[in-house]
Amino acid sequence: MRRYVLTGTPGAGKTAILRGLHELGYEVVEEAATAVIARAQAQGEEEPWTRASFVDEVVELQRERQLEGTATGRATATGPATVQVFDRSPVCTHALATYLGRPVSRALTAEIERITTEEIYERQVLFIRNLGFCEPTSARRISFQESLVFEKVHEQSYRTFGYELIDIPADDLAHRVAAVTSVISQPHRQ
């Protein structure tokens, strides 16, 4: 199984690209942090990302989803079943902890060691570039200027862990999906 990661700043269009890939038959796994936030907000917690356990909850859900294979735990792809595309990875969670000024927890360190040792994700990471704006949502409360800082932290985290960033520039959705597809559909590099 080849597992690719989509990453980038909040509001860059990763979710839209992921949906486009799913429509093409690729197996996709949605972002864990958004699910953790949505679950907590549904229980009345306004800003769960301020909780000390937030980063570890995201890491736990990322690990569960990766081990299950999909966000739902069952195959959803009708196309290239040897490729999965993840909206973020534990390296993104490392970037989040760094951005929030939190220490990197034991759980996060262990998960990054696991994904590195087991070579869980492809070394090529699809870096979705910002669109020039950032629309706030209930889970995304970051200004565009803050998102640019966060984007740089993501780049630094991935480079620190030895990943190759493949830029997917701002463009219309169809072109971005095509750019991602051209990378993930190539034969596996040894």
Q: What is the mean pLDDT of residues 77-87?
A: 73
Task: Compute the mean pLDDT over every residue in the chain, rounded to the nearest whole number.
Answer: 88
Tell me the C-alpha distance between 118 and 7, whole Å. 20
- Asked if pLDDT for residue 55 goes beyond 80, the answer is yes
Higher pLDDT, 138 or 55: 55
pLDDT at 132: 80
The radius of gyration computed from the CA coordinates of the chain, to the nearest angstrom, equals 16
Under 8 Å CB-to-CB from 184, ≥6 apart: which residues? 2, 4, 21, 26, 80, 83, 85, 126
**157 vs 150: CA distance, rounded Å:** 11
Lowest mean pLDDT among 14-28, 50-64, 76-90: 76-90
Query: Could you read off the pLDDT of 5-37 as tens digits, one per residue?
Result: 999 988 899 999 999 999 999 999 998 988 999
- Return the domain boundaries, the chain: 2-184
Q: Domain 2-184: give its CATH architecture.
A: 3-Layer(aba) Sandwich (3.40)
Residues 55-81 have a mean pLDDT of 70
